[in-house]
Amino acid sequence: MLFLYMLLEDRMSLFTEYQFIQAAADRLEIAVVPAPGAGFGPAQAAELERRFRDYLKEPVEVAVRVVDAIALTPAGKRPLLRTLP
């Protein structure tokens, strides 16, 4: 899990929240809440997608999704990684 964070570490000023979602065995989504005024847009999203694809070196589809907020669990936590059934 640490490697996922390391790939974002130098880009943390671009967003206030983020979450990795393993939507399928071959699909990783990265949900991000852009920081106000940070200028996060399609070019930055594409760069993050490329960075993760290059690191994973597997045929994995990577998609960055801009969201308004990352939902909390019923326990009030925001997990860094979420897997879908």
Q: What are the DSSP E strand ranges found in the chain?
A: 15-24, 27-34, 61-66, 81-83
Check residue 1 and give its pLDDT.
55
Check residue 38 and give its pLDDT.
87
Using CA atoms, how far apart are residues 74 and 71, in angstroms rounded to an integer?
9
What is the pTM for the complete model shown?
Answer: 0.85
Domain count, the chain: 1
Confidence of residue 3 (pLDDT cuts 50, 70, 90): low
Q: Which domain holds residue 30?
A: 2-83
- H helix count then E strand count, the chain: 2, 4
pLDDT for 30-70, tens place per residue? 999 999 988 899 999 999 999 989 888 878 899 999 999 99
Among 10, 21, 52, 18, residue whose Cα is nearest residue 35? 18
Check residue 2 and give its pLDDT.
58
What CATH number should be reported for the domain holding residue 75? Answer: 3.30.300
Check residue 64 and give its pLDDT.
95
